[in-house]
Amino acid sequence: KNGERARTHYASYVRSTGLWASVNGPITANGQNGDYFSDCGIQAIAFQNVTHDDVITPYGAFPLFLIKDGKDDTEGIAAGYLHHMIVSRQGQNCFGTTESFNVSGNSVAPLVTWDSKITTLVAAMQGNVDIITRGLDRLNVTDAFVSIINTEWGMVFGDASGEALTGEDLPFLPPNQANAVPQLLDDFTSCSATSPA
């Protein structure tokens, strides 16, 4: 949860209506090969160097859909970020959401990838925990799976003892329309957020 709190606070701080994730980077011309940006995010809380804090992706909203906080409307906040990104010029196409775009509004990555489409859809439908749990239980490997996750988590973040983390009292922040991605590009000719039905 705190990672998502940090991402929404950072988006508010840098005045972005989008969120970050590792993603194929935008291109400026058809036929150009885009690079994969695994170093997107927030330098202040990153374990590695962040060189792409100017590229956002609609699928960056998926973790917010999965949080059940009880006090904040995280699903509504996630939907707000997703909405603001897909209504950007070339933010969606006839295959769904666009892979990524620059916060300046001058370029997109017009790719079709599984993670930029299905990950967000599954998260918006409350994830697939029930299906995965049934499968792990059926194979009798749930305890081993949880042990591996706890071990891997502990190697990076320390003991998951349940202690409160700094910032857990902060709310998740919604996007602010005043900070929308500039509408500089011509939209795709069909299936854009503004195309007539």
Is the pLDDT score of 137 beyond 90?
yes
What's the pLDDT tens digit per position in 149-181? 888 877 877 665 566 667 778 899 999 877 788
Find the length of the chain. 197
Q: Which candidate, 124, 98, 122, places its Cα nearest to that of 112?
A: 98
100: three-class secondary structure by DSSP: strand
pLDDT digits (tens, 9 = 90+) for 41-53: 888 888 889 988 8
The pLDDT value recorded for residue 155 is 80
- Which amino acid would we find at residue 158? G
- Rounded Cα gap, residues 143 and 45, in angstroms: 31
pTM of the model: 0.82
11, 177 Cβ separation under 8 angstroms: no
